[in-house]
Amino acid sequence: MRISMPIRISDELPAVQFLRKEKIFIMTYSHSNMYEIRPLRILLLNLMPKKIDTETQILRLLSNSSLQIDIQLLRVDKRESRHTSMHHLNSFYCTFEDIQYQQFDGMIVTGAPLGLLDFNNIAYWQQIKYIIEWAKEHITSTLFICWAVQAALNIFYKLPKETRKNKLFGVYEHHLVHSSYTPLTRGFDDNFLVPHSRYAEFPSHRIFNSTDLELLAESEITGAYLIASRDKRLVFVTGHPEYDAMTLKNEYYRDNIAGLKTSIPVNYFPNDDPQLTPYVTWRSHGNMLFSNWLNYYVYQITPYDLDEVHL
């Protein structure tokens, strides 16, 4: 009998209740011990302020797989968060010191609302640099999202920080770069939609001319969207395929309350009317991207014995 193997997470994590309401198969630690299968160990470095929202979004995408996944939540340090309780952080997150000698099959580094800050003005920039460098010896494949892409490109390739004058905000169409076919894009439509919310700039020509990375998908408006190393160990996603239906709406109202005068997100609200409920037009792409990453860039190249991850 074939068993669908889901993500393994703590029984008390708030995301469990959210995802169960969506009929997503969640296997808590207490249940998973019945199966003699080594799960993939995935480290989630969550840099977003509203950590519970981001946990739920990422776990939703990771759950769309037949692979069993063991999730470890990681925070940069022990400083207090304005948007997430210390009880939640202390209950479900580890610090780098807790896992620095361990090996993981994969790591996801989320975005962060740091697009207008110089790297050296970020309070925990040195910690982020150290963790990303550490991952080269302890992680089989790492997936970077949005601002984390800008950080990683600077760390690995010394690419300077490029900032847009106006925020890139909305749902944009992208196309595959067919000259660079890879299993990561297997099953993608030729054109697909992805949300973006960033000030960071990712010109395709900069990636092509200044790195040895493969450009897999792009857009004339957003620039480079999906980039990967040829050895499958680094994947860069400049948008937010993990966002749920209301994320851009919440960010739109948040920005305007803060006086930022952010424009209505492009191609998001029906008739550009913020009073109408937006449709999700990127869910299938997000599911396919994360499923392909887990299967072709993590599961199929990671050793069964994680002590052999020193690649």
- Just list the catalytic residues: 146, 240, 242
- In this structure, how many other beta carbons lie within 10 angstroms of the beta carbon of residue 130? 15
- Could you tell me which of 29, 36, 37, 35 has the C-alpha nearest to residue 7? 29
Q: State how far the Cα of 249 lies from the Cα of 67, in Å rounded to an integer.
A: 32
Q: Which two tokens stand for residue 209?
A: 């001319």
What is the secondary structure of 274-293 as a DSSP string? TTSPPPP-SHHHHHHHHHHI
Which stretches within 93-230 are classed as H helix? 96-99, 125-138, 147-157, 204-210
- 291 known ligand binder: no
Taking alpha carbons only, the member of 50, 100, 44 closest to residue 75 is 44
- Give the distance from CA 207 to its chain's centroid: 19
Residue 167 marked ligand-binding: yes
What one-character-per-residue DSSP string does 43-73 give? EEE---SSHHHHHHHHHHHHTSSSS-EEEEE
Handedness of CA 242, 245, 247, 248 (dihedral sign): positive
Contact assessment for residue 114 and residue 148, using Cβ atoms and an 8 Å cutoff: no
Q: Do 187 and 288 meet the contact criterion of CB atoms below 8 Å apart?
A: yes
Query: How many other CB atoms are there within 10 angstroms of residue 111's CB atom?
Result: 26
Q: Which helix (H) or strand (E) holds 19?
A: helix 14-21
- What is the DSSP code string of 239-255? S-TT--TTHHHHHHHHH
219 among annotated binding-site residues? no
Binding residues for substrate: 167, 197, 254
